[in-house]
């Protein structure tokens, strides 16, 4: 009898364990793409492989979901995948190598954003052509269904669709919809209706593809289409980043960025403090699950990650790194401080870009014509100048350092230290301070714009963190022979 009871207990225990494991697996499988942690990439730094080949191989290995470069549909949702590159302007034996890697990452991210904007131009145009195929009363319903598939909450999707298809002006949109992307889309919608009326067409009836495409191709329409496309690219997630340092010549940093509507809306919500468009999904993973354990992965990780923690709250993680002047403990401690300042700067830039995009479009009057617009390079320079004016002033308090690490860079066996900081989003407090911040930065922003208009503005500087460091890392016979280490061996 005792044997039977023991056997029964073992069966029950096995069933419980199987249920727990199965349930945990199910939760892992249901984890949305936007909330997946960075993958471990021990081979993310190479001295032999071409950076394009490395990134393409990574994409081909993705199975859940499968990802391709460009614009694609996954489970009815739009997913944009962009591959960006940036040159490291210093060789591994140069004293500014580590700072150069950070700048290369920023260049790669600009490349990703530029590609995103081009993809968004095409998608926005396609959405407008599709919208006007249906009579006015059917558009709001179709738009609401599309937005819900893209990841918006049901009520939020209906609210957005109704507003986009109404006759109200963009500046009169509800506060929750006055984000850069939605504001720009509303201006485009109203402009399209205005141009159709000029042609003697009723915008509330079915309009042919050709009529809509003709208006989309005009210079007046294209300029604002570009601005709206750029604004729509906020919230890009760095899926993975890589580095290549050949035995001779300059290396490169490669970034694979992913955009979804949900990522974009969450990024906007962080700035506005309004989460009504975001569905209340299950809690995410603990913060520590989003910090790679593999040192080589950490060494190639830069920038910010927007994620939901196990409590359901939103957080921004920022990854910074720096190069100690020497192996002396005091210099190592200084390098950690530099890395933290760099991480906090990346966090502020993330918020500053969203704020600048929103303000730029809010200041645009719907009646404005866009003939004689400055060049794309001038517009980008002015945008970056505004970000640089706003970002340092952002009152982001409560930043906590959640991880630190140190290793040797495999290209030169030189020491590198890094930190990860966390900012728990408290938008209700943060959003209330933005007006003061923007007013304080207005003088610098106006000055930058004036310089641009006078033709004296130069391309925006790429700030890369610890550029003041001036150490020469230890030389190695093989520039890629180093192996990341957890303990301090330098």
pLDDT, one tens digit per residue, over 285-340 is 999 999 999 999 999 999 999 998 998 888 999 999 999 988 888 989 999 999 99
Phi-psi label, residue 273: left if phi above 0, alpha if psi -120 to 50, beta otherwise:
left
The answer to whether residue 11 scores a pLDDT higher than 90 is: no
Of residues 338 and 456, more confidence is placed in 338
**CA torsion sign, 142 to 145 to 147 to 153?**
positive
End-to-end CA distance of the chain: 64
**Pairing between strand 45-46 and 237-244?**
parallel
Among residues 166, 480, 230, the alpha carbon closest in space to that of 379 is found at 230
Of residues 379 and 198, more confidence is placed in 198
**Stretch (H or E) spanning 242:** strand 237-244
Query: In the chain, pLDDT over 90 holds for what percent of residues?
Result: 41
Per the structure block, which two tokens stand in for 166? Answer: 């109404």
The answer to whether residue 9 scores a pLDDT higher than 70 is: no
pLDDT given for residue 18 in this prediction: 41
Q: How many CB atoms lie within 10 A of CB 431?
A: 16
The answer to whether residue 73 scores a pLDDT higher than 70 is: yes
Q: Who's near 351: CB < 8 A, 6+ residues apart?
A: 270, 271, 391, 394, 396
DSSP assignment of 393-461 equals: G------EEEEEEEEEETTTTEEEEEEEEEEE--HHHHHHHHHHHHHHHHHHHHHHHHHHHTT-PPPPP
Parse the chain into domains and list their residue ranges. Answer: 44-365+374-453
Region 454-481 average pLDDT: 37
pLDDT given for residue 176 in this prediction: 76
87 phi, psi to nearest 5 deg: -80, 135
The answer to whether residue 45 scores a pLDDT higher than 70 is: yes
Of residues 20 and 163, more confidence is placed in 163
Q: Which of 24-33, 247-256, 400-409 has the lowest mean pLDDT?
A: 24-33
* Rounded-to-integer distance, Cα 90 and Cα 82, Å: 25
pLDDT given for residue 447 in this prediction: 54
DSSP assignment of 138-185 equals: HHHHHHHHHHHHTT--HHHHHHHHHHHTSS--GGGS-GGG-SHHHHHH
* Rounded-to-integer distance, Cα 253 and Cα 280, Å: 36
Residue 273 pLDDT grade (very low, low, confident, very high; cuts 50, 70, 90): confident
pLDDT, one tens digit per residue, over 358-381 is 666 666 555 554 444 555 566 566
pLDDT, one tens digit per residue, over 112-149 is 999 999 999 999 999 999 999 988 888 999 999 999 88
Q: Is the pTM of this model over 0.85?
A: no
Region 183-199 average pLDDT: 91
């Amino acid at each position: 009898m005792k044997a039977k009871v023991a056997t029964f207990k073992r069966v029950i225990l096995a069933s419980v364990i199987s249920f727990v494991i199965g349930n945990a697996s199910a939760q892992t499988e249901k984890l949305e793409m936007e909330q997946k942690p960075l993958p471990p990439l021990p081979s993310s730094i190479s001295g032999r492989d071409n950076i394009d080949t490395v990134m393409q191989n990574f994409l081909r290995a993705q199975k859940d979901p499968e990802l391709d470069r460009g614009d694609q549909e996954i489970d009815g949702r739009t997913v944009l995948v962009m591959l960006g590159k940036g040159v490291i302007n210093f060789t591994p034996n140069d004293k500014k190598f580590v700072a150069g890697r950070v700048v290369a990452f920023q260049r790669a991210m600009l490349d990703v954003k530029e590609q995103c904007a081009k993809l968004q131009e095409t998608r926005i145009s396609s959405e407008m052509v599709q919208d006007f195929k249906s009579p006015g009363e059917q558009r709001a319903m179709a738009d609401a269904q599309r937005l819900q598939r893209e990841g918006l909450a049901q009520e939020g999707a209906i609210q957005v669709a109704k507003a986009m298809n109404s006759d109200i002006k963009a500046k009169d949109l509800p506060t929750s919809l006055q984000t850069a992307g939605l504001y720009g889309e509303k201006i485009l919608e109203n402009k399209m209706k205005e141009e159709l009326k000029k042609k003697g067409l009723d915008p509330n009836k079915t309009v042919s593809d050709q009529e809509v495409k003709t208006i989309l191709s005009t210079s007046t329409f294209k300029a604002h289409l570009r601005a709206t496309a750029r604004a729509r690219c906020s919230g890009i997630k760095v899926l993975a980043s890589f580095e290549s340092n050949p035995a001779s010549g300059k290396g490169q940093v490669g970034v694979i960025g992913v955009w979804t509507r949900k990522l974009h809306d969450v990024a906007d919500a962080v700035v506005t403090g309004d989460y009504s468009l975001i569905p209340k999904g299950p809690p995410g993973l603990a913060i520590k699950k989003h910090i790679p354990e593999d040192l080589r992965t950490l060494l190639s990780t830069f920038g910010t990650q927007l994620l939901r923690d196990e409590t359901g709250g939103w957080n921004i993680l920022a990854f910074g790194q720096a190069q100690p002047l020497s192996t002396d403990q005091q210099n190592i401690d200084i390098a950690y401080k530099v890395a933290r300042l760099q991480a906090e700067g990346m966090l502020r830039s993330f918020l500053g870009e969203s704020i600048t995009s929103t303000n730029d479009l809010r200041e645009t009057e719907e009646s404005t014509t866009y003939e004689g617009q400055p060049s794309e390079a001038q517009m980008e320079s002015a945008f970056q100048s505004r970000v640089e004016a706003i970002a340092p002033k952002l009152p982001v308090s409560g930043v906590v350092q959640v991880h630190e690490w140190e290793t040797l860079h495999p290209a030169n066996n030189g020491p590198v230290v890094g930190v990860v900081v966390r900012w728990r989003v408290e938008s209700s407090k943060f959003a209330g301070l933005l007006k003061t911040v923007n007013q304080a930065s207005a003088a610098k922003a106006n000055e930058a714009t004036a310089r641009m208009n006078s033709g004296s503005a130069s391309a925006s500087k790429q700030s890369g963190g610890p550029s003041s460091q001036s150490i020469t890392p230890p030389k190695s016979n093989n520039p890629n022979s180093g192996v990341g280490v957890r303990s301090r061996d330098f």
